[in-house]
Structure formats: C-alpha cells, structure tokens
Amino acid sequence: MEKIINPWKGIEGYFCFGCAPHNEDGLKMEFYEDGEEIVCLWKPEARFQGWVNTLHGGIQATMLDEICAWVIARKMQTSGVTSRMETHYLKPVHTTDSHLTLRARLKEVKRHFAFIEAGIFDEHDQLCTKAVCTYYLFSKEKAEKEMCFKGCYTEKEVENL
C-alpha cells in the first residue's frame, strides 16, 4: 500500500470535512493505493456516533462518498461531483472498534460518468456498509481551473521525480 499525497493540502480555502487535515471538526481521512483499490484506515471516535457506540449513518455515507472522490482523483486524475449514491447499511459500525477499513474501486466509466463501489469494513474485516457512487467527471482543464486540481500522486511517485 502506498500513501497518496493530498493534492489540496495548502490550498487557500480548502477545509473539506472528509479529508482536510486541519479541519478540527472533520474526519481527517487519509488514503492509500493498494493495486486497483483506494484504501482508508480510520479510527472511529465517539463524537461521530448516532446511537450509543454506533457510527452515525450520515458519517458512514460521508466517508464512502469521500473515498469514492479519491478514486476519481487518483485513478482518473481529475475531479468531479457526486451525481448519485446508493448506500446499503448491512450491520452496525461500532465506534468502539480499534479501526475501520474503507475500500473503493472504479467499476466502470461511461462517457462523463464514473461508477465506483465502496465499502466499510470493521476491525474483523466484515463488510458493514457498502455503496455505489456515480460521479460526473470534470474535464482535466475544468478540474484544474475550478478545483485547483493538478494531479494526485503517491509519496513514492513524488520521491522518484
């Protein structure tokens, strides 16, 4: 697994709830590339619970949407917006787990739309929540101009430049 460098870190106005490392109220998600998958290892906190010791469903959906966006950034080398998201909550996600693993992969691309499958796995590697996200893809020019996106690379790739 190779750590992905956050391409928006240091950009003025960047305060993403999902991935900004300086957003004190945010999730502070970090991402890795593992073959065709994008992976996030995340430690749940009680402050994100809905019911007692249970991760709020809205937080789960946010995390799944976020990792899908990172699939677009890394695998498609552009950005886009969520067009549709179908989420299935299969079993509770506990805030008492030592860690959660999120995994996502590009399933298909049709014209300007990308379809991504993602899941949240508990500390026992059991699938708890899954989603399919549809993203409208921006052109590389629009991604750079409007989203300050100049590419998404792993630490190893940057070292080798």
91: tokens are: 């079993």
Looking at residue 159, what is its pLDDT? 87
Q: Comparing C-alpha atoms, which of 34, 4, 35 is closest to residue 19?
A: 4
- Looking at the chain, list the stretches that DSSP marks H as alpha helix, in order from N- to C-terminal side: 57-71, 140-147, 155-159
Chain segment 76-135, per-residue pLDDT in tens: 999 999 999 999 999 999 999 999 999 999 999 999 999 999 999 999 999 999 999 999
**CATH code for the domain of 116:** 3.10.129.10
Which neighbouring-strand residues pair with 160? none
Residue-by-residue DSSP string for 27-45: -----EEETTEEEEEE---
Q: What is the pTM of this model?
A: 0.96
112: tokens are: 């300007």
Count of structural domains, the chain: 1
Domain containing residue 54: 2-159
